A and B are shown apart, each in its own frame.
Chain A
Amino acid sequence: MNWPYVNEAGKLFEEHCDVLVVGGGLSGCFAAIAAAEKGKKVILLEKGGISRCGSAGTGFDHWEMACTNPGCKVSPLEMTLALEEEQDYYSNAIGHYIEAKDGWDCLQDIERWGGKIRDTEDEFKGAAFRDEKTKLLYAYDYESRYTLRVFGTTFRPAIIQQMKKLGVRIFERTEATTLLTNNNTASGVLGFDTRSARITIFHAKSLVLCMSRPARIWLFNGDIPGLSEFRPFQSIGTGHAMGYKAGMEFTMMEKSIRGEFSAYGRSFPPYGTGNNHNTWYAATMVDSRGVEIPYVDRDGNILKTVEERYLPAKGQKFFLKGGVIDEPKYEWRGPETLPFDKLMDMGYKLPFYADLSSMPEMERKAIWGLMVGEEAKTRIPVYDNYNKRGFDPSKHLLQSYGTGWQSAAFLEQERQLFGAPGGMMHDWNLETSIKNVFAAGDSLYASDCAGFACTSGRWAGKHAAVSADKDYEAVDMDYVESEKERLLKPLNNEDGLDWRELNLAISKAMQNYCGGIKCDDTLKQGIDLITSFKKEQLPLLKAENPHELVRIHEVSDILEVSEMILQASLARKCDSAPLSFKRSDCDPSKQKEENAYLVISKKDDQIKTYYKPHRFYGDIEEGYRSHEVK
């Protein structure tokens, strides 16, 4: 069939701006708005359509660590220190402190722009999680009130309207392919139009990279590739790949965890099965006989009421619960159902179910309707779809699968960059090791969730604006020409390989050579194999149109990131539990010196690694104070 869009392959265009934001998810939008508010000329590039793009384009249900909200009883510093210790100091304390300090400001911004952050219609009047004066709705720990339930489906239209109002120029369907630098300083980005194939040099004085994190590394299915990962299909870590190629420093890239979400086989649609975690906390769970599975406090005492599931233990100031925190240490452990093995010993029968019907009405409505409904990928895929299938939360029980609550059954080698994985190394300005290149959201190491994305985006956008008071850096036109050739070449490979074959080969290679247990020999074999894919197979890929070209550019980026993961894994010689990193040839003598951030970068094909101590960011409050842009 004939392509319905204009064909501009081979054409080169140029655009100029002060601040270029790459990626139109939450962090990118907040960065663009913050820079535009400072009076800068801002361009934002988005690979998809702007209306509902990003991981939270269709919504999000809870905003964590909003420690300055009027009801919160935990200070930003207390929260940041708790996370630091909980994550064994592989925690992004810079990002988390900014999140804890600025989250409430961002929420109020969203409200001013037209988003809904309160129960303005009094739907939850009288509920234990509602503050009657402010109409704010809290989640998880109803006592300390640091996490808010929000109406995230309303956010995106409001945010986009605000960007347009401020004159941000939005280039949709534009894939950023290449980071352009001059003397290790940002000069711009190459953009590829995903419909016309036009290539544009976006000249910028400073950049904010907001392209989330790599995916489709270990998990890939050629038949239904869109279900391979948790995040949007085309969100595969291009920011990481372009940064790595340009010499940027990354950290914690050796961290990966056993898969949790990949709905092509071993798990179900996110939030769509019976469970009592995250969005579904604290659903009542029953076994196949209808016997309720008890919740216990951190000391193992059985909780008798639903209300107690939302309260800290006696003498405990607050508990940690939500996105990235799964099984916190004793100090911050909240109420939880008994461990699975114990339940089996006690004679509970599979399968288990989530039973919202026996919960108080307000709690039921908060889970089914507010959380499931407002959370990403739930409004249509879970809430509407299940309702249409006849699901009634006051009558029905929703099944849980597998042997745990996640309704997933992954193998050790089926891994994901999940649970606060690695990313771009940065300083207090959220500036990367490349001058005037800032980053936000899940591009940053050990990041997670919507509140983190918005607050880090805003912070990075302000700093990018300050740094844009300078001249443009020169662009190396020879490099642009070579990139142009690389990006379009697959159009000439008529009998070449399908991109899916190479993505499948990468995922199998990574499962084989960089799986749950690593060692020098397999990692080196993995590097050889990935290098051979890059040299021998990548040039063979074929495309008939710009859509397929984008898929090929992505596979190229996945190869780049896979190499970085293998190299980082090779550099770390000793096991590390906090990094879920295990070796068969572990060298315990390295344990002490390696208890730090492994920083990796590449220059002229030479890999450079070094260790940066935990808490390299110094005093947290002082760091924030001295780097805050008013």
Chain B
Amino acid sequence: MMKDFTYHKVSSSTVSIHFDEDKCIGCNRCVEACQIDVLMPGDKTPKVIWPGECWYCGACVMECPIEGAISFRHPLMNQARFISKEELNK
């Protein structure tokens, strides 16, 4: 008999997605859509257990039936800069 499996959140300096507890209906469609399996089903919302393994494809948000239940952000270092044309010509 094999031993029981356990897991714990593996911390990472960046986390790509956050759940809005008030909006998430806990359907776990995002858990099933993630091809890396970085998410685990949770009590109210799924939990991001392996945030560092996310490849930032956005499939979880694409498959989410509730607008705004999952918010996606790039690591700060990867937030490309844009400026208005007026600013450029100043």
Chain A residues engaging chain B, CB cutoff 8 angstroms? 1-4, 7, 9-10, 47-49, 51-54, 57-58, 153, 173, 194-195, 197, 222-227, 232-234, 263, 265, 268-269, 272-274, 286, 288-290, 353, 355, 357, 376-377, 379-381, 384-386, 389, 391, 395-399, 401, 407, 488, 491, 544-547
Contacts and interface: CB of A to CB of B under 8 A. Distances in A.
Given A51-B59, A223-B13, A232-B36, A2 B53 contact: no
A355 to B, nearest CB: 8
15 contacts: A4-B41, A48-B36, A52-B59, A197-B2, A197-B5, A224-B12, A224-B52, A232-B35, A233-B53, A268-B78, A384-B72, A397-B88, A491-B3, A544-B5, A544-B7
A488 B2 contact: yes
B40 A381 contact: no
A380 B52 contact: no
B85 A397 contact: yes
Given A399-B81, A488-B2, A48 B56 contact: no
Contacts of A268: 78, 80
A390 B73 CA distance: 14
A396 B56 contact: no
Given A232-B36, A234-B36, A381 B57 contact: yes
B4 interface: yes
A232 B53 CA distance: 10
Contact of B59 (A7, A58, A227, A288): A58
B78 A263 contact: yes
B44 interface: no
A263 B82 contact: no
B24 interface: no
Contact of A58 (B3, B5, B41, B58): B58
B21 interface: no
B7 A547 contact: yes
A29 to B, nearest CB: 14
A379 B35 contact: no
Main secondary structure of the interface of B (DSSP, over half): loop
B59 A226 contact: no
Contacts of B72: 380-381, 384-385
Contact of A545 (B5, B56, B82): B5
List the 8 shortest-distance A-B pairs measured between CB atoms, nearest first: A380-B58, A48-B35, A3-B5, A52-B59, A9-B2, A545-B5, A53-B35, A233-B55
A379 B35 CA distance: 17
Nearest to B53: A226
Nearest to A392: B84
Interface of B: 1-8, 12-14, 32-38, 40-41, 50, 52-59, 61-63, 72-75, 77-85, 88-89
A29 B33 CA distance: 17
B78 A226 contact: no
A268 B57 CA distance: 14
B53 A379 contact: no
B54 A57 contact: no
A1 B1 CA distance: 20
B3 A545 contact: no
Given A58-B58, A233-B36, A379-B62, A397 B83 contact: yes
Q: Which of A52, A286, A377 has the most CB of B within 10 A?
A: A52
Nearest to A51: B33
Contacts of B35: 47-49, 52-54, 57, 232, 234
Given A380-B62, A380-B72, A491-B2, 8 more contacts: A2-B5, A48-B36, A226-B36, A272-B74, A353-B83, A376-B57, A385-B73, A396-B82
B80 to A, nearest CB: 5
B51 to A, nearest CB: 8
B55 to A, nearest CB: 4
Contacts of A222: 52
Given A385-B72, A395-B85, A224 B36 contact: no
Contacts of A2: 4-6
A399 B82 contact: yes
A269 B74 contact: yes
A232 B57 contact: yes
B57 A272 contact: no
B59 A545 contact: no
A268 B82 CA distance: 14
A547 B50 contact: yes
A545 B6 contact: yes
Contact of B74 (A52, A223, A225, A385): A385
Contacts of A399: 80-83
Contacts of B82: 353, 386, 391, 396-399
Q: Which of A2, A222, A224 has the most CB of B within 10 A?
A: A224
Nearest to B74: A269
B46 to A, nearest CB: 11
A272 B73 CA distance: 13
